[in-house]
Chain A
């Protein structure tokens, strides 16, 4: 993993189209500003992992009998 040190207001470039800027630092929290092409989706990684896990749960919990109760 590449590790860079940056100060508030400084930026890194990923390729030529993605810019990540350190906007603010408050204790343990770092606020990042990201400029990227609109076709690129940016997530908190935890959110994507939550969706992956929910999909795996969905594949394991498929008790079709409960649907009989639904109207």
Chain B
């Protein structure tokens, strides 16, 4: 199947890799079908692309590249909704907001994308009772060595 994407032009995808977001994504509730495509072979960055609208394509990444100790519990409702049978079927991503500089760019760790790879079901969940400001977690902390 051939689709138009925001970052990678027209590409061929395997239909079996299409993810279903039963509730859509907050702010984009009308889109339910997405596919995750690596941006290139070497970087940890991927795109979460709507199948139905080329303009709806997010940049995402694994949270652990930015916050190695990132962890949360899935609620019973998430486990049921995503039909999760075993933890190893679950993959987690964060949506990136890439502003003018790397230091101003952030990953949303308050509302991670949780994917059940086995069932191809996904959801952006919202964590509650978290201490840090995880909504805009910096990709890189400002420090002297960063230009």
Instruction: List the interface of chain A (C-beta within 8 A of B).
Output: 38-41, 43, 47-48, 50-59, 61-64, 66-67, 69-70
Contacts and interface: CB of A to CB of B under 8 A. Distances in A.
Interface in B54-83: 56-59, 75-78, 80-81
A51 B76 contact: no
A41 B82 CA distance: 13
Contacts of A47: 126, 128
Given A51-B27, A66-B98, A41 B77 contact: yes
Interface of B: 6-7, 25-28, 39, 43, 45, 56-59, 75-78, 80-81, 95-102, 105, 108, 110-111, 124, 126, 128, 135-136, 139-140, 146-147
Given A51-B27, A61-B98, 8 more contacts: A41-B75, A47-B128, A57-B97, A59-B56, A61-B99, A64-B7, A66-B102, A67-B39
B27, B39, B146 pick with most chain A CB within 10 angstroms: B27
A57 B76 CA distance: 30
A51 B98 contact: no
B135 A54 contact: yes
Nearest to B7: A64
The listed residue with most A CB atoms (<10 A of its CB), out of B102, B110, B146, is B102
5 contacts: A48-B126, A58-B58, A58-B108, A63-B99, A64-B7
